Amino acid sequence: MSFRLSYRADPGNPWFSWQYVRDNSDTILAAVREHASLTGRAVLIAVLIALPLSVLAYWVRPLAGPILAVSGVVYTIPSLALFAFIAPYLGTGATTVLVGLVLYALLLIVRNVVAGLNQVPPEVREAAEGMGYGRWRRLFRIDLPLALPGIVTGVRLATVSTVALVTVGVLVGHGGLGQLIFAGFQNNLYKAEIMTAALLCVALAVVLDLLLILVARLVTPWSTRRAR
């Protein structure tokens, strides 16, 4: 996705300019929408993949090590290199960015979900089994609800990390606010453009994190009361 900017030369070249924001409001909003959309889709897909993997690792303990190891190896690959590996197969489009973002988010979510499930007290599991709960019923009625704080922590970490990584998608033309940052460096170091995009990246990460904190408090009220 490319963005056309209305550039006005500023002899002072300040780090922030309301004139730049006004002149390029449509472009900035389009970049924010793309950034938020890529982040939301990547985290959602990662959660849908990570939850079954985490449950598998929880139920079949010998698989926990390999699952965490594979996702950990992927996480260590530099983002530029990962996108370079994926692009020849998927092309230079949003799909390439999404696949890379999902792979990076998996480790953060899987590790925290598995940790949350492992923290379910053994006596609670035994009591559920004594009441006739099968494996699936216990998972949905006992294990996952008690593991929610860990699950939300994983999603929060993955979300903030993904907001930062989306900017690297500029390599394949889908970097959201990263497009503006890159264009600013190409445009004779246009500081207002760079700073505006950078501030919006930080603001987007903070807003999404606060929303997830609110969701966590709503779905785990017992955790909030315990902290008090």
> Which domains, and CATH codes, for the chain?
13-220 (1.10.3720.10)
Mean pLDDT (the chain) is 84
Q: Give the chain's residues under pLDDT 70.
A: 1-12, 14, 189, 221-228
pTM to 2 decimal places: 0.83
Q: What is the pLDDT of residues 52-99, one digit of tens each?
A: 999 999 999 899 899 989 888 888 888 888 888 888 888 777 888 899
Q: Where are the alpha helices (DSSP H) in the chain?
A: 18-23, 25-59, 61-76, 79-90, 94-118, 122-130, 135-138, 144-166, 177-186, 191-219, 221-227
For residue 109, which of 37, 48, 40, 35 has the smallest C-alpha distance?
A: 48
Are residues 131 and 118 in contact, defined by beta-carbon separation less than 8 angstroms? Answer: no
